[in-house]
Amino acid sequence: MSESFSGKDMLTILLIVVTLISSAGTLFYVTSLSGKLMNVSDDLEGVSGNLQSVSESVLTLSETTVDIAEKVGAPSPELSALAERLEAFEEAMEEIRVEPKEYIVFGRSLAFTGKYTQPALMAHKGWELWIKLVNENGGIYVKEYGKKLKVKCIYYDDESDPTTAAELYRKLIEVDKVDLLVGPYASAVNYAVQSIAESYGYMLPITEGTSTELYERGMRYSFMCGPGGVATYYSYPFMEWVGNLPEEDRPSKVAVLAEDTAFPISVYEGVIAQSEEFGFEVVHKELYPKGTTDYVPMVSAAKDAGADLLMCGTYFPDAAGIVRAAKEVDFNPKAILCTVGPTLPEWGSELGADGDWIFSSSDWDPGAPTFGNAEMISKMREEYGIDPDYHTARDYACGQIMEAAIMAQGTLDNDELLDYILQTSFDTVIGKLSLGDVGGLTHIAWPPGYVIVQWQEGEVEVVIPSEVATADPAYPTPSWDERS
Amino acid sequence: MKELFSFVNLVINGLMIGSLYSVMTLGLTLLFGVMGVINVAQADFIILSAYIVYWMSHSYGMSPFISFIVTVPIMFGMGMLLEKGLIEPLQMRTRSHGEFVRMTLPVFFGVAMVVRHSMTALWTGDYRAITTHLTGKAFTSGLIRVPILRLLCLVGSFAIVGLLYLYLTKTKTGKQIRALSQNAVAAKIVGINVERIRLISFAIGICTAGFAGYLFSFIYTFFPGAAGEWVPLLFCIMVTGGLGCTEGTLVIGILFGVVDSVVGYYVTMAFSRVLVFITMLLVLLFRPRGIFGRGL
């Protein structure tokens, strides 16, 4: 600015400050208003309760009137007119009688659009599958209501965006008045929703959020519900396995790449900590922005740094981009591990042979005889024509936990259910899940349980640990030249 | 020595990525330059074209390499529909050219949302990719690596830009389009059928998305919402190059591709993007009409 600070500039700044202050003030006022509105809606509930008792009295009154009329003999015209009017009044009252409770209403937002759509949709199917099965059995018996209640869920699209999700959960609580919440997809989105659930006193079962960030906040109402452990553990079984290989087979230099959002950052931190534990040197590490489209530069850098192990904290588009970039620059580490992407069915169908030999991490083992596992797999094939993945399994497990907790406590009260869940271990499709407070993290699944999978010639095999493996790990993985 | 080859590879890679960036932005620039339309939905049409390539390949077995013969006409048709259905009514309802330009922003934002959500509804949010026998393969000569598909993008980009240049300078309709973009009133006076030329130029702008989407589908995985990741970069390229200035788009697109590649390697991708947007800001501060722009 070449001119000096004029009075006009002062005025503009003053105007901006005044606008900011008044907006802040309005915001405060509106939030207090919404508090008052909540009271009003509570009063309205009381009023409708009163209306119900009034209609009941009217019913008895009309019955009594008819009795009297009969006893008296031929009813006088005035009396029969009165009886008619009372009947009409009673019919009108029927209309506004309060509906008895039929459903347990869950509320959640999911990424139906945006970057996280595909895994979110797999999670959605898992949740819907559980709801279907529960309703086929007539619902869940809730002692508080003395009968079986069916389950339904209200969904909104959060577009893979944390801020949108937060607003949607506020709506679910205040407008839709759901009984219970379920968390959205992705750690970053759960992070935004946690505070909403916490301030309203609703428990937030987090089915698709394993970042340590979520569990460092000491939130009372948030807990892991379905996943097998925090994201830092995704890579552990693999790192442990390569760490214990004989000297000549072990890698020595690790490259770590991860998206710069909550979940991949946790994976990244886990890999770095485990590299130190097992004696690997981290020669290249990079956190890339969520909207990155080109992975060739960072993979080139990893290659030129001499890495012989590539570990990636990814979702699908970035995992695919990284693997393709590795092929383009002819990067041939002894192994590549990417989270999430390679656990989705389209890894094989979209990438073809390029997707082979990539490792990934899952907390769900399709072959394990865990509680309800076979039923879930067959029901999934029947309903959707595809096999479940670990996202589906996690949300299904959450349903199993909810069902067990509601039946045990006999109520839909958030606090009572929360206390029960925190102290109990549950049998689920993921295995035995129990929660604990470990290492500064609260309400995480402990002990953690992850298996390592690998794509081998178009099929996903469980490779580590050997007790549950369906195939041996193919290591070191063939080079790009060898594959063609 | 190895360092030098790395650097050369990076620059070559950058040129190829950048050429794709340029082609993707080209439609945006044309539409703004010729018609004053701020087409926020350009990236969505690119993704839509990529989906067309995908379905042509998966449902009809058409080789992806020739599918531009399908995407370009479909996008051309879509462009004509949009022009008749949206642009003309908008022209009639707005009282000045400035107002028209401003209104195209929310209107095309709406178009983008419709396209994006239609794609989700039709084809689900599943991730898609085109994998061919050429995916990942490269020409190698010593330490120099040139990925074949990216080279295809480079060649394709130059081809389409060359074709467009020839069309705009050598054909009668092309010259009319340029005349219209220079001065609408004068164009009318010399007897140019403004409605027809507008229709054709808009359709051409959208059908460049058809070609860009075809090239795009070989390199990147996509899903219905993928356009959201591209819009900021495309606008950045157009604005830095000069609103409505095609030479600017070409040069800046390639430049940003090289920056992404080189800076992405030596520093990080995040920093490369920061650099790109800071460049845009600096250009806007000191030369608001863009590096090659001739003024709004």
For residue range B162-202, list pLDDT tens digits in order. Answer: 888 888 889 998 888 888 888 878 888 998 888 899 899 99
Q: How far is B256 from chain A (nearest CA, A)?
A: 12
pLDDT of residue A481: 84
Distances from the Cα of A185 to the Cαs of A211, A431, B116, B193, in angstroms? 12, 21, 20, 53
pTM: 0.78
Q: Which domains does chain B have, with CATH numbers?
A: 2-286 (1.10.3470)
With CB atoms and an 8 Å threshold, state whether A320 touches B129.
yes
A32 has a pLDDT exceeding 80: no
For residues A108, A111, A113 and A115, what is the CA-based torsion angle, rounded to 10 degrees? 170
Is the pLDDT reported for residue A253 higher than 60?
yes
What ipTM does this complex have?
0.83
Q: What is the pLDDT of residue A94?
A: 66
Paired strand residues for A451: A362
> B120 and chain A: CB distance < 8 Å anywhere?
yes
User: In this complex, which of A291, A300, A316 lies closest to B127 when CB atoms are compared?
Assistant: A316
Q: What is the reported pLDDT for B51? A: 95
Residue of B nearest to A351 (CA): B131
A346 touches chain B (CB under 8 A): yes
Nearest CB to A350: which of B131, B270, B272? B131
Q: Please compute the mean of the pLDDT values over residues A298-311 and round it to a whole number.
A: 94
| B27: contact with A, CB 8 A cutoff | no
Mean of the per-residue pLDDT values of chain A = 88
Check A297 against B273: CB less than 8 A apart.
no
Of B127, B269, B273, which has the smallest distance from its Cβ to A118's Cβ?
A: B127
Contact between residue A329 and residue B145 where contact means Cβ atoms under 8 Å apart: yes
Angle ∠(A393,A395,A400) on CA atoms, nearest 5? 90
Quick one: pLDDT at residue A467? 86
**Local structure of residue A106 (DSSP, 8 states):** E
Phi, psi of A448, deg, nearest 5: -75, 150
Q: Which residue of A has its CA nearest to B216?
A: A293
Contact B265 A301 (CB under 8 A): yes
| CB contact B52 to A (< 8 Å) | no
- Partner residue facing B229 (CB), from A113, A291, A480: A291
Give B-chain residues touching A287 at CB under 8 angstroms. 268, 270
Contact B10 A160 (CB under 8 A): no
More confident of the two residues A13 and B295: A13
Q: Using a CB-CB distance cutoff of 8 angstroms, which residues of chain B are in contact with residue A294?
A: 17, 260-261, 264, 269
Res. B39: pLDDT tops 80: yes
Residue A99 pLDDT greater than 80, yes or no: no
**B3 to chain A, minimum CA–CA distance in Å?**
9
Q: How big is chain B, counted in residues?
A: 296
Query: In this complex, do B225 and A114 lie within 8 Å of one another by their Cβ atoms?
Result: yes
Q: A321 — contact with chain B (CB < 8 Å)?
A: yes
Substitution target in A294, A327, A332, A343 with the highest count of B β-carbons within 10 Å is A294
Q: Give pLDDT, residue B296.
A: 44
Please name the residue ranges forming H helices in A201-331: 212-215, 236-243, 262-278, 296-304, 316-328
CA distance A183 to A142: 22
Q: Is the peptide bond before A447 cis (omega within 30 degrees of 0)?
A: yes
Average pLDDT, integer, range A311-322: 94
The percentage of chain A sitting over the pLDDT mark of 70, rounded to a whole number, equals: 94
